[in-house]
Amino acid sequence: MKKNLKIFTKGLLDENPILVLALSLCPALAVTTSVASALTMGLVVTFVISTNNIVVSLIRKIVNPKVRVPVYITSIATIVTLAELILEAYAPLLYKSLGIYLSLVVVFAIILARAESFASKNPVFPSFLDGFGMGCGFTLAMVCIGAIRELFGNGTLLGLKILGSWYNPALIFILSPGAFILIGYLVGAVKILNGKREEKAKERDVQ
């Protein structure tokens, strides 16, 4: 149980795809101008990475290692297409707001990385937990970035006015430079937090 919990939770802080591993920064810059689009992209990536990890784990013993990467990419592309069709059918506005970045989920480094480094070497359930944990960590980072950018860039959250008419929106938060700066600060904050957690863990081990 502890092992499974560790597999899931590592993606939240210890190996957060965006704030620690610095993978898939493109969507973190492009689609986090609002909480809604950030959350939607996060949920799509969580669905894709979790499902792909399951598929890769199931076929890991029958795929020739020489063609494993094309097989993994084909699996990812199929799952992303399914996610696109679902969004287009049931959430057309969000589908349009994500635009080309939804299709680019196929080449997100974090998805192929988890398939190659974990799912291809482990059973189905741990592979699912790894993908789900990484997806949750990705979503958490995306929503955090999106919330800050939307709040200070528009004065709203989920489209609802939070800061009154007295607030003059800081447009830099909506632009890419603002996103870069914000992500830099969040990466630094997570690094400090992880460092303190490691120190406390070492102290407990000594005691």
Q: Give the E-state strand segments of 123-202 in sequence order.
A: 156-157, 160-161
Percent of the chain, pLDDT > 70? 100
Angle at CA of residue 15, ends 11 and 16, nearest 5°:
65
pLDDT at 207: 66
User: What ranges do the domains of the chain cover?
Assistant: 2-206
**SS3 sequence of 81-132:** HHHHHHHHHHCHHHHHHHCHHHHHHHHCHHHHHHHHHCHHHCCHHHHHHHHH
Per-residue pLDDT tens over the stretch 159-180: 888 888 888 888 888 888 888 8
In this predicted structure, the answer to whether residue 148 has a pLDDT above a threshold of 90 is: yes
pLDDT at 136: 95
Query: Mean of the pLDDT values across residues 23-37?
Result: 85
pLDDT at 50: 96
In this predicted structure, the answer to whether residue 205 has a pLDDT above a threshold of 80 is: no
Average pLDDT, the chain: 89
**Radius of gyration (C-alpha) of the chain in whole angstroms:** 18
pLDDT at 192: 92
Per-residue pLDDT tens over the stretch 71-125: 999 999 999 999 999 988 998 888 887 877 888 888 888 898 999 999 999 999 9
d(CA 155, CA 161): 6
pTM higher than 0.95, yes or no?
no
Confidence of residue 65 (pLDDT cuts 50, 70, 90): confident
In this predicted structure, the answer to whether residue 19 has a pLDDT above a threshold of 80 is: yes
